[in-house]
Amino acid sequence: MITYRHEQYIGQAIESVMAQETDFAVELVIGEDCSPDNTRAVIQQYQKRFPGRIRIITAEQNVGMMPNFIRTYLACTGQYVAMLEGDDYWTDPHKLRDQVAILDQNPDVVLCFAGCAEVDEQGQILKENFVPSAYRRDLSQLEIVGSYCPPTLSVLFRNHVLTNLPPAFAVVGNGDYFLFGMLTDFGHAAYLPRSVAHYRRHGGGVWSAQSLENQYRSNLNTKLAMLRYFGGRYQAAIMHNVNWYYVQLLTLLWHQGRRAEFWPLYRDFIRISLQTLNKELPAFTLRLLTGRLSTSALAIAPTRSY
């Protein structure tokens, strides 16, 4: 569990983990990133309430989301790892039990994800299942790398299968997406067909509070890092999404008259396209030269679940 400035929500998140009914031990490792509110104090109260079950990773100063993610993940020593951010919460007391059973019984499965609902700040349901119907099933590595990131709060995966993390992992904006892609080098992803958690959408959310442009940039940087990591294995699938983000961002910058930002990004698009023999670049350039860049195509990013 990573958390920053979640004083209002962290208690519910912790209690949802402590409420899990299992026949195996569960340790909750919390990476608290020097929050300016009382998040750490709330966690320490729960640590006293549940002695021996909660371990806190702290720092004297804020380290940032991805460094906090990495240090907390690497601190997990269990056979399996599940992730839950401090503003979300689990709703099914048998989530861990049933996902562990799936991995125990299926050595070809490296991670298990499930359905989850989207809720507002008060916990009122906005969407019954955040997983699109087309992805409510077992998924291959190609499908995860190329098109869909399972909801992080619903995932459980095998620990210790990755011996190291590439340097690029520390600087991407979507570490969960990159992580799930790397994990599926060791097996496919199984789907538990029910809703087990609530993803909370609120103004202070790390992802949901970002502008659409920043979400595009974050997803693009993650996809480029994955392109470098996987090499030619999934180039076509990854480039499909890389193209989408470049086109969206470049179109947005052009229509907003932000030429100083447009041209460096366009040069990056040229460089990546030359490396991958990408056919989208000539088509985009033709639309640019003929004045046919349309903002009507700007839409919600296609390759993240939230």
Tell me: the pLDDT tens digits for 205-216?
554 556 889 989
In a shared domain, residues 237 and 109: no
Minimum mean pLDDT range among 77-81, 97-101, 174-178:
174-178
In a shared domain, residues 144 and 83: yes
Minimum mean pLDDT range among 29-33, 37-41, 117-121, 150-154:
117-121
Distance separating alpha carbons of residues 185 and 230, to the nearest angstrom? 10
Check pLDDT > 90 for residue 137. Answer: yes
| Residue range 44-63: mean pLDDT, rounded | 95
**40, part of any domain:** yes
Check pLDDT > 90 for residue 306. Answer: no
**85, part of any domain:** yes
Check pLDDT > 70 for residue 90. Answer: yes
The packing angle between helices 280-289 and 259-276, to 10°, is 150
Claim: this prediction has a pTM higher than 0.85: yes
Structural domain containing residue 274? 212-297
In a shared domain, residues 65 and 156: yes
Check pLDDT > 50 for residue 29. Answer: yes
> In this predicted structure, what is the pLDDT of residue 199?
96
CA angle at 257 for the pair 252 and 262, rounded to the nearest 5°: 60
In a shared domain, residues 144 and 234: no
> In this predicted structure, what is the pLDDT of residue 246?
96
**165, part of any domain:** yes
Number of domains in the chain: 2
| Residue range 85-109: mean pLDDT, rounded | 98
**16, part of any domain:** yes
| Residue range 273-280: mean pLDDT, rounded | 92
- Domain end, chosen from 151, 173, 200, is at 200
Check pLDDT > 50 for residue 300. Answer: no
- Domain end, chosen from 166, 200, 234, is at 200
- Domain end, chosen from 141, 171, 200, is at 200
